[in-house]
Structure 1
Amino acid sequence: MGNKVVSKRLLADNIYLMEIESKRVSKSAKPGQFVIVKMDEKGERIPLTIADYDKNKNTVTIVFQAVGASTKLLADLSEGDFIMDFVGPLGQPSEFIKEDISKLKNKNIIFIAGGVGAAPVYPQVKWFKENNLDVDVIIGSRNKDLLILEDEMRAVAKNLYVSTDDGSYGYDGKVTDLLKDLVQNQGKRYDHAVVIGPMIMMKFTSMLTKELEIPTIVSLNPIMVDGTGMCGACRVSLGDEIKFACVDGPEFDGHLVNFDEAMRRQAMYKSEEGRALLESEDRGTSHHSNCGCGGN
C-alpha cells in the first residue's frame, strides 16, 4: 500500500511540510541524510532531505517546494493518502554526529539556512540541542512570506538571527550581510559553519566564510536528481577530486566545491540535449565506466 501521509502543512507559498509514516526510516535516520520519494510506478524519483524524524511515532518529516510535475503531485496528497515508495535513509550523516561531544562543546558553530534550506538545517540543530550543545542559527529568505520553520528553529537554537533580502522582516539584507555583521560588528567568533540553501547562496556564503577563515560545510542536495549516482547529474569537483552528492555526500567542504561547474551541470541536466552532452563529457570517468547507466 505504501507509506501514509500522517500530516500535511503549508509553510509558505508552494512550500509544504509532510509527516510520513515509515518505521524503518525513522529508526535509522540521522541528521544530514535524505530519502527518495516515488509517487507511483511511473513517477520520478524525488530526493528530499530529512527535515525531522520521530522514532516513537515512526514518522519522518519532509519539506519540499512544489515546482515540477512530481512535486506538484506530491503536494496534491492529503492526510491519509499513501506514497508508493519512501526509501532511506540515504547519503552520509552530518559529520558532527561522529565527533566527541566534549570536543563539540568547545566549538562555536553557526548554521546558515537559505529558503527551503531551513528544513535540512533543523534536524541538525535539534540534534545539538538534544545533546546540550548551543549553536547559533541564521535563516534567511527573499521576503517574510517565504520564511519557514522560524518557531521550530527558535526552540532549538541558542541564538536565532533572521534576515530577509527585501528587509520586510528581521535583518535587512542577505544571510551573507548578516553573518558579516555578526562577525565584524558584533564580535561573534565561529569555529565552524554549516551552510544549506540554494546553490548560489551556498557559493557566496562559502566565499565569505573563506574570507573570514571559518571552515564550512555545505549540503549539495539541490543538485541531486535520482539519488543513487546513476544519472551523473550531481557530479561535483572538490579540488582535484570528483564526488557525487548523493552517494559521497550530500555534505562537503564548501571551500573546495566548484559551485560554478555544479550549477552549470544542474542547468544542463534539465534538457535532453544537455543530458546527452554531459554523458559525452563523462565518458571514461569512474562513474560512467562502472554504473551501467549508458555512459560507457
Structure 2
Amino acid sequence: MYKILKAEKLADKIYLMDVEAPRVARHCQPGQFVIVKMDDKGERIPLTICDYDREAGTITIVFQEVGASTVKMADLKAGDSFRDFTGPLGCASELVEEDIEDLKKKKILFVAGGVGAAPVYPQVKWLHEHGVAADVIVGAKTKDMLILEDAMEAVSGNYYPCTDDGSYGHAGMVTTMVEELVNNGNKYDVCIAIGPMIMMKFVCLLTKKLEIPTVVSMNPIMVDGTGMCGACRLIVGDEVKFACVDGPEFDGHLVDFDNAMKRQQLYKTEEGRAMLKLQEGDTHHGGCGNCGGDK
C-alpha cells in the first residue's frame, strides 16, 4: 500500500497528492510517469510525475476529474492509500541527458496548458537546480484555473501566465504569448509544450513557422501505460509509436495530431476500438515490438 501524505484541491476538479513511494522517488526523472490503482478492482490511471523528494521518498501527482475513477480518487484524503503505485515508467525528458554546460547556452521555452503545468514543473525545477533558466508560459481559461503558480514562478527564468478570458496575465491563448515574446526579440533554441492535444497542435504549427524545434508530451492519450492496449498509438513522421513505451515526449513537428485526436475519440467506444483494430492490424497494439503486446 502507498500512503497518501497530503491531499489538496488546487482548482475546480484539479487535485494534488503527495504519496509515499520511496522506490519510485529514488529512480524517477522529470518527464516520467506512474500508474496508480485505488484498489484491486480499480482502473489503472497513468499520471505524469509532478515532483519528487528522494530523501523523503515521496512523489507528487496532480490529476483532474475526467471520469468515474478520478472522481473517486478526488475523495481520498491524507492517511488513505493507493493499492498500486507503479513506476517510474516512460522515458525521461531528453533535457536530463544533455550536457549541462550546453544547456546553459540554450534559450528554452516551456508552454503549458491547464493541468499540463504539472509535468512541466519538474523539468523547469530540474533545470533551475542545475543553473539553467527557462521561460515558462502557462495558460488556463481563467485565473482560478491556473495551478502551481508560486512554485513555477520560483524556478522559472521568466513566468508568463495567460488566461483565455483576460482576467489575469496575458489576455489570450498561449500561442499569442509565444508570438509576442518572439516579436519582442526572444530567440528560442527549443520549446517544450505540454497540455491539451489541441493546444499542442497549434503551438507546433506556430513554432514550425517560427523554426523553433518543439517537443510535446503525449501523456493525454495514455490509458494502460504499458503498450498493451493500443490507446496511445500515434504516427510520428513515418513511424508508429506508443506514447507510454516510446515516449511520452516526441518531436512535435512530426506528430500527426489529427490522427491522434481522431483515435482518441474512437477509442472511447467499443465499436470504435473494433474499427481501429480492423484498420491498424498488427500495429494496433504491440506494434512497437518492445512491450510484448504482439505476442
Length-normalised TM-score, structure 1 = 0.96
Structure 1 counterpart of 2:116: 117
CA-to-aligned-CA distance 1:177-224 (integer Å, 9 cap, x gap):
01001101x211101000000000000001000011000000000000
CA-to-aligned-CA distance 1:264-285 (integer Å, 9 cap, x gap):
1111111111111111122122
Structure 1 counterpart of 2:4: 5
Structure 1 counterpart of 2:275: 277
Contact kept, 8 Å, 2:276 with 2:284, in 1: the verdict is: no
Matched residue SS, 2:50: strand
Deviation at 1:288, TM superposition (A): 4.4
Alignment partner of 1:191 out of 189, 192, 217: 189
Amino acid at match of 2:23: R
Amino acid at match of 1:283: G
Amino acid at match of 1:164: T
Mapped to 1, the partners of 2:267 and 2:40 lie a distance apart of: 23
Mapped to 1, the partners of 2:131 and 2:173 lie a distance apart of: 29
Structure 2 counterpart of 1:173: 172
CA-to-aligned-CA distance 1:1-30 (integer Å, 9 cap, x gap):
x10000011110000000000000000010
Structure 1 counterpart of 2:125: 126
Amino acid at match of 2:94: E
Structure 2 counterpart of 1:244: 242
Mapped to 2, the partners of 1:48 and 1:61 lie a distance apart of: 10
Q: Structure 1 unaligned segments of length 5 or more: list them.
A: none
Amino acid at match of 2:211: E
Amino acid at match of 2:133: D
Contact kept, 8 Å, 1:142 with 1:166, in 2: the verdict is: yes
Contact kept, 8 Å, 1:282 with 1:288, in 2: the verdict is: no
Mapped to 2, the partners of 1:93 and 1:100 lie a distance apart of: 15
Amino acid at match of 2:95: F
Matched residue SS, 2:227: coil
Deviation at 1:292, TM superposition (A): 7.0
Mapped to 1, the partners of 2:147 and 2:33 lie a distance apart of: 19
Does 2:41 match 1:42? yes
Alignment partner of 1:224 out of 222, 225, 230: 222
Structure 1 counterpart of 2:232: 234
Structure 1 counterpart of 2:203: 205
When structure 1 is superposed on structure 2, of 273-282 and 50-59 the one drifting more is 273-282
Q: How many residues align?
A: 293
Length-normalised TM-score, structure 2 = 0.97
Matched residue SS, 2:281: coil
Mapped to 1, the partners of 2:138 and 2:292 lie a distance apart of: 40
Does 2:82 match 1:83? yes
Q: Structure 2 unaligned segments of length 5 or more: list them.
A: none
Identity in percent: 62
1:16-95 pair list within 5 angstroms = 16-95=15-94
When structure 1 is superposed on structure 2, of 203-212 and 276-285 the one drifting more is 276-285
